[in-house]
């Protein structure tokens, strides 16, 4: 029979085992709790960088937008300044004043060139004379060329011719011959009759084209134009179809028809005829 002491010992041991089991369970729970805390903390640390990145992106975007807006404002300012300079004329391209072939319209109103004007015609000195005396007689109304002439212009052409004859009379004492006429295909727009002395003594007479435009069929007499307009009601010079060929004609003296090899020799030769008068 077991003594009371042994029973007490076993009970104490059993109680001790229970306490140990309780302690073990408590420790186990504490360990699990700590592990869970560490895991939650770790997860929190992993999420935190993502939050920070998003925060940084959010903070960068407004800054970039502000910079883009600032750049846009700078471009707008530059555009305004450029427009302002152009409007003020700083960068304005040069204004085209028209084709050179329209130059006669300006010359008609140039007081330095005008020698006569009335309500129908204007007489000017040729800006680049091909002889000692070289004038242009022009109608005030718009007539681009010989082909634009109509029967209604007949009286006007006669007035132009008459004024040309008056000019030659004023230079009668010079002893020079004159011709009145038109180029069949003029280089300048607006009808004009040439009144030109036949000495051709001018530094502006430089090329074969200049010479042949006044000494071949390229130059049509004023009386011939008037006669054609009276007869047919229009003007179409026969030489117009071969005007380019006429301008390339070999050089010849318009007085004696002697051939010359170049313009300097031709001009020197012409002086002999002028001195003989």
Order of strands, edge to edge, in the sheet holding 121-125? 114-117, 121-125, 134-139, 193-197, 178-183, 219-221
Which three-class secondary structure state does DSSP give residue 143? coil
Catalytic residue among 183, 192, 194, 243: 192
Which three-class secondary structure state does DSSP give residue 62? helix
Whole-number Å distance between alpha carbons of 262 and 192:
29
Annotation says 192 is catalytic: yes
Nearest partner of 161 among 185, 130, 129, 137, judged by Cα: 137
Q: With contact defined as beta carbons under 8 Å apart, do 201 and 274 qualify? A: yes
Residue whose structure tokens are 């005829």: 273
CA-to-CA separations, 122 to 125, 130, 196, 268, in angstroms, rounded: 10, 20, 16, 34
**Residue numbers annotated as active site:** 192
């Amino acid at each position: 029979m077991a003594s009371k002491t042994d029973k007490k010992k076993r009970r104490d041991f059993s109680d001790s085992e229970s306490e140990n089991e309780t302690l073990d369970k408590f420790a186990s729970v504490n360990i699990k709790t700590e592990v869970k805390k560490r895991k939650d903390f770790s997860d929190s640390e992993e999420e935190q960088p993502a939050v920070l990145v998003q925060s940084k992106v959010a903070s960068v975007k407004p800054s970039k937008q502000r910079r883009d807006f600032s750049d846009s404002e700078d471009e707008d300012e530059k555009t305004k300044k450029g427009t302002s300079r152009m409007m003020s004329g700083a960068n304005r391209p040069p204004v085209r004043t028209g084709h050179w072939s329209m130059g006669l319209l300006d010359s008609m109103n140039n007081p330095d060139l005008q020698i006569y004007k009335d309500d129908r015609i204007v007489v000017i000195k040729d800006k680049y004379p091909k002889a000692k005396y070289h004038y242009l007689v022009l109608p005030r109304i718009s007539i681009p060329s010989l082909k634009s002439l109509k029967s209604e212009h007949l009286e006007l052409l006669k007035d132009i011719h008459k004024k040309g004859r008056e000019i030659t009379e004023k230079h009668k004492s010079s002893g020079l011959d004159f011709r009145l006429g038109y180029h069949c295909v003029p280089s300048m727009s607006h009808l004009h009759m040439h009144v030109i002395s036949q000495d051709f003594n001018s530094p502006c007479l430089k090329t074969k084209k200049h010479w042949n435009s006044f000494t071949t069929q390229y130059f049509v007499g004023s009386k011939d134009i008037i006669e054609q307009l009276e007869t047919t009601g229009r003007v179409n010079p026969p030489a117009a179809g071969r005007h380019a060929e006429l301008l390339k004609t070999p050089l010849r003296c318009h007085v004696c028809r002697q051939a010359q090899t170049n313009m300097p020799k031709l001009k020197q030769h012409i002086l002999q005829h002028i001195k003989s008068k």
